[in-house]
A and B are shown apart, each in its own frame.
Chain A
Amino acid sequence: MTTLNDLTLAQARDGLKAKDFSAVELAQAHIGAIAAARSLNAYLLETPERALEMAAVADTKIAAGEARPLEGLPLGIKDLFCTHGVTTTAGSKILETFQPHYESAVSHNLWRDGAVMLGKLNLDEFAMGSSNETSAYGSVISPWRRTGSDAPLVPGGSSGGSAAAVAARLCLGATATDTGGSIRQPAAFTGTVGIKPTYGRCSRWGTVAFASSLDQAGPIARTVRDCAILLASMAGPDARDTTCADLAVPDFEAAVSRGVKGLTIGIPKEYRVEGMPAEIQALWDQGADWLRAAGATIREISLPHTKLALPAYYIVAPAEASSNLARYDGVRYGLRVPGRDIAEMYEKTRAAGFGREVKRRIMIGTYVLSAGYYDAYYVRAQKIRTLIKRDFEEAYAAGVDAILTPATPSAAFGIGEKASADPVEMYLNDVFTVTVNMAGLPGIAVPAGLDAQGLPLGLQLIGRPFDEETLFATAQVIEEAAGRTVLPPAWWA
């Protein structure tokens, strides 16, 4: 028998509408599943009372025939989104006791549309990581395991709690954020769907900032359709974020079934990186074949500056982070460690409050912005960003509608497996996703198969600015051709 938390978000919505079950029953099924999955460490904070209150309101609305678009649908919220009166840590000790007195624009939009909050999801500290191992509150354990092994695997990061919770059926969908791949990489590692929309599609207001010119919110869910439904609620203009686009939100769900007939899909040859596993290449070829069979034209394209995106990112993102995280000074928020004078108070507070990866990135950012190095590093990286964006503009101007690439260079790895002294080894996880953030484009990761060890692998589609609709249509074709990923049974419960 299918339990209520196994339903897709669209199925749950239709079931509530048909009164097959109540929103309170749906919330209770999730609350129970979450309580039985604490060993995964996906939730940092559970809010069952709030969930049941919101579900009760939803049942009243449904009974009165006033159901809103997400009425009664239980969601998890990445703990980077400020939630009014609910502790928001950003995965950091420095914000351990932070209680926002306001609601992020994205979560506000979800509650406005009737969604139900289940709790706050684990993440890499300040979203800086690709494995969820930098969280000050412990790693998240992926619901996936290699065939015949019980070694714990990472769910990816930084939205590792979001991806694990969706894959383990601990919510119908989750909010996530993506600065260099933090939605798409964990989605690919967990057999779920994740979309980073165009920069400016979702308001950044009330989301803890990492790198402001790259950060974008988006959903992780179990199907392409579920992502389309969630993004339609999360997105939209907001006067409080000056970079949030004043564009009406299209009917994303209607775009899901549009098909790919007549579309031109680009295959960028620069993504065929040295040492790429044969399985990833085979998956990529398979994806192109599926789209061709569905009526798309496949064309090899060139994005010559691809290789430079990751190194340029590791200048731009830390530079912006060093500036954004200056606000954690022991004066206005949470943690404070006393010192002889104010400078010592700042230094001790930040030394105690920030983890190793965050300190490293703040220091790199401080260095590349410091006198004498600004032009050589930061300005040069921003010029290279112009070149990366131009590559995409030229491909789109030549008639390409969307670009197909692998989502990650490998399947999920084990916890602690990439804990070497060289931080760059971990950074290479984002080699296929980071270009998209540097160019401000939309990108979606969709499951496309399993590797020889039984772990999910994903493909990525990259679109034109503000054309998420084509991504939903194309990803749906891949989802249908690959068949919905069979998620792992609840061995943790």
Chain B
Amino acid sequence: MSVDANTVRRIAHLARIAVSEEEVAPLQDELNAILAFVEQLGAVDVSGIEPMTSVTPMAMKKREDVVTEGGRARDVVFNAPETEDHYFLVPKVVE
């Protein structure tokens, strides 16, 4: 499989990365080089094989559903570019 220029623009939008028109062609070539490289996987017989979900045999750890830490709003927003009263600020999303 290979991608065309429109697919590159669509993937870029899905990935939320702005791509200029000059960037589309080189990206298309690079993505197609990678897709050509992974093409060989299509020839492998994988019938009856389970997809890996955990690389080591381990049971998911569980803990009691209790508050273990909190009250760190200042730490949480410390690195945000825009905040107000410990809230993240974003451009208006509802008209």
| A340 to B44 alpha-carbon distance, docked (Å) | 47
A312 on interface, CB distance cutoff 8 Å: yes
| A242 to B27 alpha-carbon distance, docked (Å) | 36
| A354 to B27 alpha-carbon distance, docked (Å) | 14
Interface bin, chain A: 35 or more
**A239 close to B17 (CB less than 8 A):** no
Assuming the contacts A239-B63, A351-B19, asked whether A389 and B55 have C-beta atoms less than 8 A apart, the reply is yes
**B15 close to A308 (CB less than 8 A):** no
B51 on interface, CB distance cutoff 8 Å: yes
The winner among A242, A332, A367 for most chain B CB atoms within 10 A is A367
| A338 to B92 alpha-carbon distance, docked (Å) | 12
B34: A residues at CB distance < 8 A: 314, 360, 364, 423-424
Q: Across the two chains, which residue of chain B brings its CB closest to A377?
A: B38
Q: Across the two chains, which residue of chain A brings its CB closest to B89?
A: A331
**B13 close to A342 (CB less than 8 A):** no
A to B contact number (C-beta, < 8 Å): 170
Total chain B interface residues with beta-carbon distance under 8 A: 54
Assuming the contacts A315-B38, A331-B88, A370-B11, asked whether A424 and B33 have C-beta atoms less than 8 A apart, the reply is yes
**A379 close to B19 (CB less than 8 A):** no
| A386 to B39 alpha-carbon distance, docked (Å) | 18
**B33 close to A389 (CB less than 8 A):** no
**B49 close to A330 (CB less than 8 A):** no
**A360 close to B27 (CB less than 8 A):** yes
B54: A residues at CB distance < 8 A: 243
B71 on interface, CB distance cutoff 8 Å: no
Q: Across the two chains, which residue of chain B brings its CB closest to A307?
A: B40
A29: B residues at CB distance < 8 A: none
A344: B residues at CB distance < 8 A: 18
A314: contacting residue among B1, B37, B42, CB under 8 A = B37
| A198 to B56 alpha-carbon distance, docked (Å) | 9
B82: A residues at CB distance < 8 A: 336
**Bitwise interface map of A from 376 to 395 toward B, beta carbon under 8 Å scored 1, else 0:** 11011111111101000000
**A350 close to B18 (CB less than 8 A):** yes
**B51 close to A382 (CB less than 8 A):** yes
B42: A residues at CB distance < 8 A: 376, 380
A311 on interface, CB distance cutoff 8 Å: yes
B52: A residues at CB distance < 8 A: 382-383, 385-386, 389
Restricting to B50-95, which residues have a CB under 8 Å from any CB of A?
50-56, 58, 60-61, 63, 72, 75, 77-82, 88, 90-93
B interface residues (Cβ-Cβ under 8 A, vs A)? 1, 3, 7-8, 11-19, 26-27, 29-31, 33-35, 37-42, 44, 46, 49-56, 58, 60-61, 63, 72, 75, 77-82, 88, 90-93
